[in-house]
Amino acid sequence: MRDTFNRMIGRNRNVVLRLFLHLSGSEVAPILGRLNRVAQKAIDAEGDIEVLGVELGELCETLLRFDEYWFSAANEGDVFWDEGEAGDYFNELFNDSAQRYKSSADFSFDSGESQPLTVPVTRNVIVIITVAYEGEVSELETDLANIQDLKEALKALINLHYKHTLRAIQVHFSPAQLGDELTNDQLLQYFPELIPL
């Protein structure tokens, strides 16, 4: 009833969504390179939603190609009729994601530091996608605790860019760079909401 009233008075429906996807296995570490490239392009784009939308689409396509390594997932979100409230919630989710274990990449480089010839390879990678969009997308506004629904949700995220309804995008991942490791104990401690797929 409230949704109908808000539509009648001309308010826009805004959705803020956060999706967690845990990939596990001996072959998941290479995805960190792709994630770091996306992060660097996002920094270079300085908030340009068109560039961020393209990168989000490429990231979702990469995740879809790695579906055999999907281990667990979770999602949360809310609907807002006030843009300010949606923005506040987006910022709240952003801050929470950034505080998760090693979910901020370091793009600085110290040439005086000796680099190891081998690095430990993590068997766990968490990708956290937070978006704000305008309108209604049923594939995103449901429980994503099964593989088929998650695939449809990632495809729907790609389509948001082409429909020009994306308002904000943020991607975090853990570990944030090759050489860092995310252990099973750390998964339980820092990502307790994950549900096995």
- 3-state SS of 51-118 is HHHHHHHHHHHHHHHCHHHEEEEEEEEEEECCHHHHHHHHHHHHHHHHCCCCCCCCCCCCCCCCCCCC
Instruction: Give the other-Cβ count within 10 Å of 144's Cβ.
Output: 25
Asked if the structure places residue 63 within a domain, the reply is: yes
Residue-wise pLDDT for 139-168, tens only, equals: 999 999 899 999 999 999 999 999 999 999
Residue-wise pLDDT for 38-65, tens only, equals: 888 878 888 788 988 999 999 999 999 9
Asked if the structure places residue 4 within a domain, the reply is: no
The count of domains in the chain is 1
Kindly give the confidence (pLDDT) of every residue in the chain, 197 residues in length, as a single tens digit, with 9 standing for 90 and above.
445 545 545 579 999 999 999 999 988 878 888 888 888 887 888 878 898 899 999 999 999 999 999 999 999 999 999 999 999 999 999 999 998 876 655 443 344 444 444 556 789 999 999 999 999 999 999 999 899 999 999 999 999 999 999 999 999 998 877 678 888 999 999 999 999 99
- Paired tokens of 48: 């340009």
Residue with tokens 């960190």: 32
The answer to whether residues 153 and 197 touch, using CB atoms and an 8 Å cutoff, is: no
Asked if the structure places residue 109 within a domain, the reply is: no
pTM: 0.85
Asked if the structure places residue 111 within a domain, the reply is: no
By residue range, what is the domain housing residue 97?
Answer: 13-104+121-194
Asked if the structure places residue 81 within a domain, the reply is: yes
